[in-house]
Amino acid sequence: MSLAPPPALRADARAAVLAWYDARGRALSFRGTRDPYAILVSEVMAQQTQVSRVVEAWSRFLDRFPTVRDLATASPANVLRAWRGMGYDRRALNLQRTARAIVGDHGGVVPRDVEALERLPGIGPYTARAVASIAFGIPVGAVDTNVRRVLGRALAGGAGMSSAELQAAADASVEPGRPADWTHALMDVGATLCRPGRPRCPECPLLTWCRFAGERGSEAAPAPVARLSRPRNSGTGSPVPFQATSRWLRGRIVDRLRDADGSAWTRVDPRIGEHDAVAIDAALMALARDGIVELDPDEPRRARLTTV
215 is catalytic: no
Would you say residue 2 has pLDDT above 80?
Answer: no
Annotated active-site residue in 43, 115, 274, 299: 43
Would you say residue 218 has pLDDT above 60?
Answer: no
Would you say residue 221 has pLDDT above 60?
Answer: no
Would you say residue 233 has pLDDT above 60?
Answer: no
**Band (300; pLDDT cuts 50, 70, 90):** confident
Strand, helix or coil at 272? strand
pLDDT digit string (tens) for 115-144? 999 999 989 999 999 999 999 999 999 999
So what's the architecture of 11-216 in CATH? Orthogonal Bundle (1.10)
Would you say residue 37 has pLDDT above 60?
Answer: yes
Report the predicted TM-score, pTM, of the whole model to 2 decimal places: 0.87
Q: What angle do CA 30, 116, 55 make, to 5 degrees?
A: 15
pLDDT digit string (tens) for 77-102? 999 999 998 989 999 999 999 999 99
pLDDT over 90, % of the chain: 78
- Reference 14, options 206, 299, 256, 251; nearest CA is 206
Q: Averaged over 222-231, what is the pLDDT? A: 47
Which pLDDT score, from 0 to 100, does residue 269 have? Answer: 87
Would you say residue 292 has pLDDT above 90?
Answer: yes
The answer to whether the CB of 42 falls within 8 A of the CB of 58 is yes
Would you say residue 283 has pLDDT above 60?
Answer: yes
What is the pLDDT of the chain when averaged over all its residues?
A: 91
Which pLDDT score, from 0 to 100, does residue 242 have? Answer: 83
pLDDT digit string (tens) for 259-282? 987 778 999 988 899 999 999 999
DSSP string, the chain: -PPPPPP---HHHHHHHHHHHHHH----GGGG---HHHHHHHHHHHTTS-HHHHHHHHHHHHHH--SHHHHHHS-HHHHHHHTTTS--THHHHHHHHHHHHHHHHHTT----SHHHHHTSTT--HHHHHHHHHHHH--------HHHHHHHHHHHHTTS---HHHHHHHHHHH--TT-HHHHHHHHHHHHHHTS-SSS--GGG-TTGGG-HHHHHH-TTPPPPPPP-PPPPB-TTT-PBPPGGGSHHHHHHHHHHHHHTSSTT--EEPPS-BTTB-HHHHHHHHHHHHHTTSEEE-SS-TTEEEE---
